[in-house]
Copies of this chain bind each other. A is one copy, B any other.
């Protein structure tokens, strides 16, 4: 039976054998939720980059949409911020467009996961798509939490626990302490996910930035149950 493990921070990725595994990159608030939403809205491919400069340069080079934020607010001079609602605005259709998005934690997690056999992007919004892909591949799974400035964060961990639970019939989800902790925290959080995550001080900070609409949106399970961004060469494509 293949194994499922959770890496709580990109800073710990060197401890995990990624070769031959399926890596699931998670940054619930908000990079991976936004990428899933963008693809659900018809964006064809996504270039995640670490800096605003790269974002701007790639946007000009490929003529694609640009999305960037700094400290929880949209960065100036880009088409969109890091809110999933930016991709749901009829006034700015995104269908058929490519996108470059600046996300520090998410890009780091992606770059450090390159050794994996397959890399996909996970969020509550596409939980079932990720689970189905992992089952079909049948490889060991490593869920890579982007974390909060390299540190453990609750919302990515709780998502990882939810995915572990969804896969527990087909994967060994109990041979790592991180996976056990993820499962237990998810079981505590599930009855009222929003209230549970609002304990987190950085989540509350996000809310204080008037992003609470985003917060509620990102916690919806399987709103886009068939959308699966997958890493291919230098970009994410919808599979």
Cβ A178 vs Cβ B151 within 8 A:
yes
What is the total number of copies of this protein in its complex? Answer: 2
A29-58 interface with B by 8 A CB criterion: none
In the bound complex, how far is the Cα of B151 from the Cα of A175, in angstroms?
A: 13
A78 within 8 A of B: no
A15 within 8 A of B: yes
Contact residues on A (Cβ < 8 Å of other chain), bracket: 20 to 34
A157 within 8 A of B: yes
Return chain B residues, CB-CB under 8 Å to A150. Answer: 12, 15
In the bound complex, how far is the Cα of B150 from the Cα of A11, in angstroms?
A: 11
Kindly name the residue among A153, A177, A181 whose own CB sees the greatest number of chain B CB atoms within 10 A.
A177
Stretch at the interface among A99-107, A119-127, A197-205: A197-205
Cβ B15 vs Cβ A12 within 8 A:
no
In the bound complex, how far is the Cα of B191 from the Cα of A53, in angstroms?
A: 53
Contact with B along A132-168 (1 / 0, CB 8 A): 0000000000000000111111100100000000000
Interface residue ranges, A against B (CB under 8 Å): 8-9, 11-12, 15, 148-154, 157, 174-178, 180-181, 184-185, 188, 199-202
